[in-house]
Every structure is written in C-alpha cells, then in structure tokens.
Amino acid sequence: MYLEMMQRPRLKDGFSHFNIALSKFKIVVSDEMKNDFLKWIGLVALIFALTMTAPVLAQEESNKASQPEPTAEEIEKENEIKEAETDLRESIQENLDSLHEDVESVEKHQAEEQIISSVKDPDQTDAATQETETADTEKSQIEEIPASKSVRDFLATIPEQLQSVPERLPFLRERGIIFFGRAELDYAHYSSGITKQDSGFRVRSLRAGLAKAYLKGFSIKAEIDLTDGDSNFADLYFRYRNKRFGLFTIGNQRVAQTLVNQTSRISRTFMEQALPAEAFGLGRRMALGWDLNKDRSGVHATIFGDDLNHSIGDSGFAGRVYFNPARSRFRLFHVAASMVSENMSRKSRFFAHPESRVTSVRFVDTGLFDDVTHQKIKAVELAGSRDSFMFRSEFFRASWNRTGQPDPVFKGYYFQASWAMTGESFSYTQGKFLRIRPQKPRGAWEVAVRYSQVDLNDAGIFGGEQRNVTAAVNWYSPGNQFRIMSNLIFVKTYRIAGNESPTIFQLRAQLHW
C-alpha cells in the first residue's frame, strides 16, 4: 500500500489543539479539529436525512394496512422495498443472508411435530396437552434452578442482540434503519528478530454503521472506523440499482481492483491479506462507481480521487472484469483481470506488513519518492471451487513513471487453497467468494494454506523481497457471526537492512452483526 506519510485525524487528539487565550477571549481551532468536527456533522446530517424521509414511508405503510386488499401497484412498491433492502444488506456484509439461520434443536423439531399432530387429531391434542402440563409441573418441581448457558451459547446471542438494537429503539425501528458492525481482537507471538518485542494483543478492527434502503432501488450507507481511537469514515455512499444498467455508487467506496480487495474481511480465509495484495492495494477512495453483474460475467469500474479522510491517494481510474467459464452449484472456475491508473502528485510508496498487524514493522518497504508522476497496477486472477475445496491465486505487476530516473517495475503473487472439513461448500456471487456457512450444530471447521511473495527491488530501488508460507485453521460458530481464526506464518525476507526469518503464530476472535 502506498501513501503519503500523513497521520489520520484522531478525535481524541483534536482537543489538544484548543488554545484558549483568556486575555483576548479567543479560541483557536486547528484544521485537524475542524476535519473531525465536519465528519461528525456529516454523520449527524446523514441520520437526520434518514429520519426526515421515514415518516413518508411510514404513512404509506399505514395506508396499505387500512386497505383489505392491496392493489397491484402497492404490491409492486412493497416488492421494490424488499429488493432494495436485500441488495443493501449484500453490500454491507456479503453473507448477511445467513443471519438468524442457526441450526434448529431437537426440542424445536418435537414442538413442530406436536403442532402438526394437533391439527390432524384434536383428541390427541387434549391428551398431549395434559401430558405436557403434567411433565412441565414435574420438571419445575425437580429443576428449580434453571440450567446455565454455555460460553458458546452466550457468544451466539451477542450478534443477535446487537442486530436487534433497531428493534428496541423506536427511532431506528420506525424508520427501517439497519445497524451493523464488526469487532476483531488479535493476539500474535513473534519468535525472533526485530518483531520479537511486539508480541501481544491488539484490537485489529472496530466498526459500526447505519444503512437504509428506499424505493426505486436507492440506498445509503455510513460506516465509521473506530479502531485505535480514530474517527474515520470507512464507507459513506449513495447507491442506485437498476436491473438493466447495473449498480451506480457515489461516495467513499472500494476501488475496482483485484479479488482480495473486493472481498469483505469477514469472508477472507486468512487473518491478513497476502503480501502483494497489501503492497499494491488501493483500498477505499472517494469515487463514482459502476457495477454490472450477469450470470457468468461482470464488470466494475471506478473514477476516483483521494479518500474521504484526505490521508492517501490522487486521481485516477480503475476497472475489473471477471468471467466464469464453468459454473454450477458445486463447481466454479473464475478468471478476472484488473488495472489501476493513477496520477501522482504526492510522495509514493509501496510496502507490506508480514501478514500480521499486531506489529507495525514492515520488512519490505520502498520508502518515499517524490519524483513519481504516474503509476499503474495490473492484476490477473485465477480461482475456483468444487464441493468443499477452493483455491485462489493472483498475480500483480506495478510500475512507476519517475522524472529523470529509470522506471521501476515491482511484482508479486500468491496461491492459496482451502478445505471445509465439515463438508460445507464455498458460495460465490458477483465475482467474489463468500465465507462458508456452518451446516452443523457444532459449527464449521476450515483449514487452508497459502504461499505469497512480493519483490520491491528494481531500477535502483531496494525495498526488499519477502516470501511467506502460512497455515490456517478457522472455526465458524453455528450462527455464522462469530469466528475464531489461527495462522502460523513462516517468514523469509531478503533486504539490505538485514534478512529476517521469524515464525509468527497469531489468533483472532472476529464478531460481526
């Protein structure tokens, strides 16, 4: 990832810029404080916009309820709302359709069978009711103390409680607002070298946001990244979906680039991106985006500037095209290509962490260059799945145009393979893979391996070369909203500052709602 070395504005640091001169009765406010203030004002304005538009929809729903039989036009509008909300949920989290689909217990099945039998034979119903009441009385006399829930049961209820926040708050419930978020806690142990002293814990991600779907395919989303005490917007955009012409997005969004860049963190197999994916990935920018997805192909294009927080990037355009030569329910082959072209007016840089972010050390790093006028990043993707097996690979090529200096070319690639040990299959939609959905009461297990390499040496630039081999074991909770991830990484680096070969063991507890 390249960026100008600028610190993102922090809300907690903004107060230190207040300079109150009591003698002159003046208050001096820094630009950093103004930026944070404007961002929070923007969020308040967004919530206000959602609030003002909701009464109209609420009145429409009330009118529908008063009519005994809805008209065809009303049914069409209701279907449009449902479709818009479904599309919005897919854009927020790639597997939200699995929410509230926990595996049914044996007791629930017995209750359903009892209801069915009661409909068929009323006499049996009375007898069954008497037996149930007798059994309940005896059970209450024997089991005066209720059984305590297990830790797993407790964790499974957390996402449901968080998702039900709008239902408990009339302000959100009556306006159809979706509340979502993600939290990740990491632990890492580094065996040797300059990272050895960095072993420990870190809150890797903490995000929360609001979203709402409107009539005619319009939707809006706002998400704030609170990690490390920052108050930065992650996603902040408006969308319009047209069945014929595709999806149009304006605001802070993902750039049209690579398979891993389009895959949500909750659907990634490994804790961190592969080396070249981080080194050459652009992330989110203020952009105008267009998506058109068909059954076996699709295209995604963006015209972008810097990001909403004004911390990285310049103007440019990006495009990604994917194709599925073979696709069925249990078999898939994916081919894609992407290209980014960006004008550079800021200092340029490529670097990558060792696929672990508890440490801030970067073994490979080109350093900052202010003579880069333009850069291109190209990538080719090959991926596929069959039943419980899946593989992915990407090949990267990045180049700089420098003033008065040779133009360097940097390269990287990775291969990875996964196996769902408990038999689940890997879902795929709109040119990207989704994480597995547990089908058994004890959750799902996944094992994976990955080899990644990045080379940042060329044309007089010695950023170093790194090769990683990673093994992963992941457990998915039955509700598919809590996941425990583990990675074992074997690192090899070759650089002027000295070679490093640490072994990294890391764990992550990931929760989303």
**Dihedral of the alpha carbons of 102, 106, 109, 111, in degrees to the nearest 10:** -110
Q: Are 419 and 426 in contact (CB under 8 A)?
A: no
Give the pLDDT mean for 361-379.
Answer: 95
pLDDT digits (tens, 9 = 90+) for 31-51: 555 555 555 555 555 555 544
Computed over every residue of the chain, the mean pLDDT equals 78
And the tokens for 148?
């305590």
Give the pLDDT mean for 119-125.
Answer: 43
Closest CA to 83 of 178, 211, 175, 218: 218
Instruction: Evaluate whether residue 20 is within a structural domain.
Output: no
And the tokens for 307?
């990001």
Instruction: Evaluate whether residue 2 is within a structural domain.
Output: no
pLDDT digits (tens, 9 = 90+) for 263-280: 988 999 999 999 999 999
Same domain, 202 and 282: yes
Give the pLDDT mean for 132-142.
Answer: 44
Q: Are 14 and 7 in contact (CB under 8 A)?
A: no
Distances (CA, A) of 59 to 62, 171, 175, 354: 5, 15, 11, 55
Same domain, 469 and 442: yes
d(CA 262, CA 432): 7
Q: What is the value of pTM for the model shown?
A: 0.71
Lowest mean pLDDT among 98-102, 176-180, 398-402: 98-102
Residue 397 sits in a domain whose CATH number is 2.40.160.10
pLDDT exceeds 70 at position 30:
no
The partner residues of 383 in beta bridges, in order of sequence, read: 334, 392
pLDDT exceeds 80 at position 96:
no
How do 364-365 and 372-386 pair as beta strands? unpaired
Residue 210 burial by Cβ neighbours in a 10 Å radius (0-12, 13-18, 19+): buried
And the tokens for 303?
């015209």
Three-state DSSP at 80 gives helix
pLDDT exceeds 80 at position 68:
no
pLDDT exceeds 60 at position 318:
yes
Instruction: Evaluate whether residue 230 is within a structural domain.
Output: yes
Q: Which amino acid is at 141?
A: Q
Q: Are 357 and 275 in contact (CB under 8 A)?
A: no
Task: Quickly count: other Cβ atoms within 10 Å of residue 462's Cβ.
Answer: 14
- pLDDT score at 123: 47
| CA count, 13 A, side-chain hemisphere, 254 | 16
Backbone angles phi, psi at 116, to 5 degrees: -60, -45
Lowest mean pLDDT among 65-74, 113-122, 222-231, 450-459: 113-122
Closest CA to 376 of 403, 348, 404, 352: 348
- pLDDT score at 47: 52
Same domain, 288 and 326: yes
- pLDDT score at 16: 42
- pLDDT score at 298: 96
d(CA 262, CA 394): 13
Same domain, 353 and 500: yes
Backbone angles phi, psi at 370, to 5 degrees: -105, 10
Same domain, 289 and 238: yes
- pLDDT score at 283: 83
E strand or H helix at 397, and its extent?
A: strand 389-402
Residue 315 burial by Cβ neighbours in a 10 Å radius (0-12, 13-18, 19+): middle
Same domain, 404 and 388: yes
Same domain, 121 and 244: no
- pLDDT score at 394: 98
Mean pLDDT highest for which of 28-37, 209-218, 349-358, 432-441? Answer: 349-358
Instruction: Evaluate whether residue 315 is within a structural domain.
Output: yes
Closest CA to 92 of 258, 174, 207, 257: 207
Give the pLDDT mean for 350-371.
Answer: 95
d(CA 466, CA 381): 21
Residue 77 burial by Cβ neighbours in a 10 Å radius (0-12, 13-18, 19+): middle
Sign of CA dihedral 343, 347, 352, 353: negative
Instruction: Evaluate whether residue 13 is within a structural domain.
Output: no
d(CA 215, CA 261): 30
Give the pLDDT mean for 121-148.
Answer: 44
pLDDT exceeds 90 at position 328:
no
Instruction: Evaluate whether residue 344 is within a structural domain.
Output: yes
- pLDDT score at 307: 77
Same domain, 184 and 316: yes
Lowest mean pLDDT among 94-98, 338-342, 385-389: 94-98
d(CA 383, CA 415): 9
Instruction: Evaluate whether residue 19 is within a structural domain.
Output: no
Closest CA to 92 of 272, 246, 213, 229: 213
Percent of the chain clearing pLDDT 70 (strictly above): 64
How many domains does the chain contain in total? Answer: 2
And the tokens for 77?
């509008």
Instruction: Evaluate whether residue 37 is within a structural domain.
Output: no
Same domain, 315 and 225: yes
Task: Quickly count: other Cβ atoms within 10 Å of residue 27's Cβ.
Answer: 9
Give the pLDDT mean for 106-116.
Answer: 45
Q: How confident is the model at residue 233 (pLDDT cuts 50, 70, 90)?
A: confident
Start-end of H helices in 406-462: none
d(CA 410, CA 404): 19
Same domain, 131 and 183: no
Q: Which amino acid is at 359?
A: T
Same domain, 321 and 447: yes
- pLDDT score at 360: 94
Backbone angles phi, psi at 31, to 5 degrees: -65, -35
d(CA 73, CA 127): 48
Same domain, 227 and 110: no
The residue segments making up the domain with residue 368 are: 92-100+151-165+179-512
